[in-house]
């Protein structure tokens, strides 16, 4: 079976396929785009396994506790790019206590040891310390890409280590992290000879940045394509930065508000006019409407617009967005309102992804007029729309049915009605019919979030029809165990299920225990689970890790609790690494 040595030129026929050397298989596998395909190939036979794992260059560890870092390094010795994800998704909303885990340090240590040629490292929702960053800077001589998404635990000192230590870094992409500001001028630690930067994103940094240093950096990095500034960069500096980097493709502006001055406005407009390649725009914190026209000259070319921090409202906003005829991605706040969305929908027909964020999510009364109408209009006018995240305060079944009929090509549909248990506001019925229409019509739906008043009926539809569904988020829905049972016994492709505040109990969990091993993870919080069921589940399925957490502020001594005691939060995931050892006191592994 192909020991690596090639056959001598055969006299007659080429060697039979099963005797081809490994290099041929490696080359063949390089055409497989998806990791799952590569995994499937590796499972075919030993020689394919060998060829595949030795040639794997990109690795995604979707749950950092599913395998140990050493396992990953041993199995795939030639990896050049790694992405590791840690905490469950609900950590973004504060449901996971700090100190829960997901430390990046073991991964960095194992990588430093086993993958010295590593070029790309990406962490999502993990706890990354300054020590980790220093180790990264010191261990990988060809390190090029660092991407940290929703991480915490590090400070600008760590960034300074990266800047000073990584000679060849191309991308420094910090998205939505919590970065401690240590008053270090980390930007100035990029050496004067350093010119390889292609992406610089420090939009989540809260502290000040030395503008002159930034300007010098931008000037000498002629390949800079993505520059995302933080909130501390004032508007007047933006113009000068843009003049130094007219080749920029993706821009995150800093603070986009200032008192209106004509000369500042013309400077900005001129600077933007020079950016002929600008395609993606974000930032715009506190944007004031008077300055929006400065963007007009780039509108035609924009494909991606993220105004989700721009608390600007009124006709200027709509006028601006409507000029972006080629827009494919639009993230905006609900200040755009229904009429704004309707206008946008009619002008931006190429829209593929829409996200509408709430401007006042914790407010009592409705203050913006954003309702189901906006989404219906967009779904009707944008034939390529496939991904939606929509926060609103009211919805009807009829609207959802219309949307489903208009757009059967949804791959991601996330609707969040801000107040839990909100029924159809016209008929006062649960929204079962609406969401059922969505799953029945959108055969390719991969991600779904439901909200509003929902009974078990909707889960029956989801279980039966959502065959491609991979991630499902449920909150304040359902009325009995049946709901969960429908989901777990249906939904053939389900990978991640997260549930909060639903009346689901032990029975469906235990009845569908085997399903959990086909999924990446299950999160259930504030449901009706008992400790006995968790213990039973853990006994029955040894390859699952069953984590239980009650009060995040107290230690959780399980031994003293009876089987009937209530479990507040359950997090179950499959793992080959056995129970983890870094749980905080409030988390217990059953």
Partner 1 sequence: MEEDSRGRAPSTPQLLNLIQDEGEWKVVREEADGGRSSRTTSYEAQEDTKLELKLGLPGVHDEERQAGPRERLELRQQESCTELSLGCFASHSRLATSTASTTAGAKRGFLATVGAKAQEACSQRHQDKEGCGNELTLGGENMAGERKKGCCPPSSSHDSAAGPVHSSSNPHQGRGAVLPVVGWPPVRSFRRNLTNGSSSKQSPDRQSDELGDKAKLACKRSLLIKINMDGIPIGRKIDLAVYDNYQKLSSAVEELFSGFLEAQKDLDCTESGELGAEEKIFSGLLDGTGEYTLVYEDNGGSRMPVGDLPWNVFLSTAKRLRVLKSSELLHGLVSTMQIQAVICFPLLKSKFYLWLQLCRWNYFIHVIVSVPQSQVSSSFIFSPCLFYRLKLPLVGQWIVDI
- Subset of 17-56 contacting partner 1 (CB under 8 A): none
Q: What b/e string do you get for 482-491 counting C-beta neighbours within 10 Å, with b at 16 or more?
A: bbbbbbbebb
Q: Is 500 among the residues that bind partner 1 (CB under 8 A)?
A: yes
Six-digit token pair at 184? 């270090």
Q: Which is nearer to partner 1, 402 or 525 (CB)?
A: 525
Residues 128-147 that bind partner 1 (CB under 8 A): 129
Which residues lie closer than 8 Å to 560 by C-beta, 6 or more apart? Answer: none
The CB-of-99 to partner 1 minimum distance in angstroms stands at: 5
Spatial CA neighbour of 247 closest among 203, 277, 270, 219:
277
Question: Can you tell me which of 47, 201, 253, 257 binds partner 1, judged by CB under 8 A?
Answer: 257
The CB-of-19 to partner 1 minimum distance in angstroms stands at: 55
Q: Is 453 among the residues that bind partner 1 (CB under 8 A)?
A: yes
Q: Is 550 among the residues that bind partner 1 (CB under 8 A)?
A: yes
Question: Left (φ > 0), alpha (ψ -120 to 50) or beta: where does 529 sit?
Answer: beta
Residues 350-389 that bind partner 1 (CB under 8 A): 357-367
Q: Is 125 among the residues that bind partner 1 (CB under 8 A)?
A: no
Q: Is 262 among the residues that bind partner 1 (CB under 8 A)?
A: no
Which residues lie closer than 8 Å to 341 by C-beta, 6 or more apart? Answer: 356, 370, 373, 374, 375, 377, 378
Question: Can you tell me which of 65, 476, 486, 573 binds partner 1, judged by CB under 8 A?
Answer: 476
Cross-strand pairs, 58: 81
Residues 156-215 that bind partner 1 (CB under 8 A): 157, 160, 176, 178, 180, 182-184
Q: Which stretch binds partner 1 (CB under 8 A): 14-22, 76-84, 294-302, 475-483?
A: 475-483
CB 228 within 8 A of CB 252: yes
Q: Is 532 among the residues that bind partner 1 (CB under 8 A)?
A: no
Whose structure tokens read 């949804």? 410
Six-digit token pair at 442? 């959108």
Q: Which is nearer to partner 1, 368 or 439 (CB)?
A: 368
Which residues lie closer than 8 Å to 335 by C-beta, 6 or more apart? Answer: 311, 312, 313, 317, 359, 368
Cross-strand pairs, 475: 500
The CB-of-226 to partner 1 minimum distance in angstroms stands at: 21
Q: Which stretch binds partner 1 (CB under 8 A): 21-29, 151-159, 262-270, 572-580?
A: 151-159
Which residues lie closer than 8 Å to 364 by C-beta, 6 or more apart? Answer: none
147 vs 200: CA distance, rounded Å: 10
Whose structure tokens read 């709509």? 318
Residues 274-293 that bind partner 1 (CB under 8 A): 286, 288-290
The CB-of-333 to partner 1 minimum distance in angstroms stands at: 8
Q: Give φ, ψ of 195 to 5 degrees.
A: -135, 10
Residues 51-110 that bind partner 1 (CB under 8 A): 90, 92-95, 97-99
The CB-of-491 to partner 1 minimum distance in angstroms stands at: 21
**CB neighbour class for 450 (10 Å; exposed up to 12, middle 13-18, buried from 19):** buried
Q: Which is nearer to partner 1, 152 or 547 (CB)?
A: 152
Q: Which is nearer to partner 1, 5 or 94 (CB)?
A: 94
The CB-of-20 to partner 1 minimum distance in angstroms stands at: 50
Residues 399-418 that bind partner 1 (CB under 8 A): 416, 418
């Amino acid at each position: 079976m192909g020991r690596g040595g090639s056959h001598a030129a055969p006299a007659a026929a080429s060697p039979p396929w099963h005797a081809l050397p490994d290099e041929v298989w490696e080359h063949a596998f390089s055409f497989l785009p998806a990791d799952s395909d590569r995994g499937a190939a590796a499972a075919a036979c030993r020689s394919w396994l060998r060829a595949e794992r030795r040639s794997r260059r990109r690795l995604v560890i979707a749950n950092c506790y599913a395998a140990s870092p050493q396992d990953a390094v041993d199995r795939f010795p030639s990896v050049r790019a790694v992405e590791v994800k840690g905490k469950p998704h609900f950590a973004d909303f504060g449901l996971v206590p700090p100190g829960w885990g997901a430390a990046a340090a073991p991964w960095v240590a194992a990588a430093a040891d086993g993958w010295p040629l590593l070029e790309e490292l990406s962490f999502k929702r993990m706890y990354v310390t300054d020590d980790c960053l220093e180790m990264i800077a010191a261990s990988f001589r060809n390190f090029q890409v660092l991407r940290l998404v929703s991480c915490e635990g590090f400070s600008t000192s760590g960034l300074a280590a990266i800047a000073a230590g990584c000679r060849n870094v191309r991308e420094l992409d910090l998205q939505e992290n919590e970065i401690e500001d240590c008053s270090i001028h980390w930007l100035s630690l990029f050496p004067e000879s350093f010119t390889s930067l292609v992406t610089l994103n420090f939009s989540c940094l809260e502290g000040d940045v030395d503008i002159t240093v930034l300007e010098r950096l931008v000037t000498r990095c002629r390949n800079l394509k993505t520059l995302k500034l933080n909130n501390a960069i004032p508007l007047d500096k933006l113009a000068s930065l843009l003049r130094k980097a007219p080749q920029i493709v993706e821009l995150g502006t800093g603070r986009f508000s200032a008192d209106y001055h004509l000369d500042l406005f013309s400077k900005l407009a001129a600077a933007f006019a020079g950016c002929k390649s600008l395609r993606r725009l974000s930032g715009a914190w506190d944007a004031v409407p008077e300055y929006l026209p400065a963007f007009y000259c780039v509108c035609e070319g924009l494909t991606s617009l993220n105004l989700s921090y721009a608390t600007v409202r009124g006709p200027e906003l709509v006028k601006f967005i409507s000029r972006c005829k080629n827009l494919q991605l639009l993230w905006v706040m609900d200040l755009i309102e229904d009429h704004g969305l309707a206008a946008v929908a009619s002008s931006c027909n190429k829209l593929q992804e829409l996200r509408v964020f709430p401007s006042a999510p914790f407010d009592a009364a409705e203050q913006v007029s954003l309702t189901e109408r906006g989404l219906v209009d967009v779904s009707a006018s944008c034939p390529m729309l496939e991904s939606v995240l929509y926060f609103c305060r009211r919805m009807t079944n009829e609207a959802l049915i219309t949307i489903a009929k208009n757009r059967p090509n949804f791959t991601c549909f996330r609707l969040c009605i801000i107040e839990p248990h909100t029924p159809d506001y016209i008929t006062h019925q649960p929204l079962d019919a609406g969401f059922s229409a969505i799953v029945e019509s959108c055969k390719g739906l991969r991600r779904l979030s439901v909200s509003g008043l929902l009974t078990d009926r909707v889960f029956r539809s989801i279980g039966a029809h959502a065959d491609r569904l991979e991630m499902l988020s449920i909150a304040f829905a359902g009325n009995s165990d049946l709901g969960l049972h429908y989901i777990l016994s249906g939904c053939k492709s389900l990978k991640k299920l997260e549930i909060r505040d639903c009346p689901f109990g032990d029975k469906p969990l235990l009845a569908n225990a085997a399903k959990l091993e086909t999924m990446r993870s299950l999160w259930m919080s504030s449901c009706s689970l008992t400790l006995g069921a968790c213990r039973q589940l853990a006994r029955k399925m040894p390859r699952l890790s069953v984590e239980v957490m009650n009060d995040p502020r107290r230690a959780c001594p399980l031994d003293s609790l009876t089987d009937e005691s209530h479990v507040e939060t359950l997090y179950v995931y499959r793992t080959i690494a056995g129970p983890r050892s870094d749980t905080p006191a409030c988390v217990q592994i059953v």
